[in-house]
Homo-oligomer: A and B are copies of this chain.
Amino acid sequence: MKLVLIGSGNVAKTLAVLFKNAGHELLQVYGRDENKASDFCEMLGIPYTTHWQQINPDAVLYIIAISDSALPEMGRYLSLPGKLVVHTAGTVSKEVLSGISDRYGVLYPLQSLRGSAPVTAQFPFLINASNPPDIELLINLVSSVGADFQIVDDEQRARMHLAAVWVNNFPNLFYRIAYNLCEENKTEFKLLLPLISETALRMDGTDPAKWQTGPASRGDVGTIKAHLDMMKNHPHWQQIYSILSEEIKKGS
């Protein structure tokens, strides 16, 4: 499939590698920042441009992978009548693209793509399009890279983005707290890595409630109190620990 990618950040870079490796023809990448665009385009042998006027008109699909806040302005720069145009954002309505083409949709990679390439080669997409035949086109694209997918409306996609915050941003905050506890404690944070992996890798898609362990789940008041005492210099962590222990006890 002939593709043009608008954007030169981590999402654009990851999708470029993914689709190129699956044999799709990346006609062009548009990037505002020439250094960022040339960085991966030259490595992958993909032409790039920094000028809106030079966007290649021959693609089947235009994928806009830019920041959420820049999406509403796109209609000022881009007009692609008759072409399928999608964005990659978690919480922005697909309608934001309606000024660019009457064929628009969403191709949202449900993965944290900050920094280098993801550890897991595979991640799923949440997709949708204003015209039903274009949904088929997006299904073909994601299937060609072996990716899982679900067709979801704007509301469902926003709620999956919320769920992503729960399983990524908040656990990462807790890894940071554990890291700081280890630093204070002169113990090695790396000793926790097998536990961190195990906790994540035993998820199988069924209700994680069956894996809930720890002092709160067994009502071990003595250990909870001892833990709170150990954090007496960190009142915020005490507060978070207490609220979460209550939530676990309630069997949320």
Contacts and interface: CB of A to CB of B under 8 A. Distances in A.
A74 interface: no
A25 B111 CA distance: 46
A223 to B, nearest CB: 6
A150 B199 contact: no
Contacts of A248: 169, 173
Contacts of A195: 110-112, 123, 164, 167-168
Contact of A243 (B122, B123, B178, B239): B239
A78 B31 CA distance: 72
Contact of A212 (B159, B172, B202): B172
A119 interface: yes
Contacts of A73: none
Contact of A197 (B119, B173, B193, B237): B119
Interface residues of A, number: 93
B167 A188 contact: no
A161 B195 CA distance: 11
A186 B160 CA distance: 10
A183 to B, nearest CB: 9
Interface string A176-216: 11111110111111111111111111111101111111111
B170 A174 contact: yes
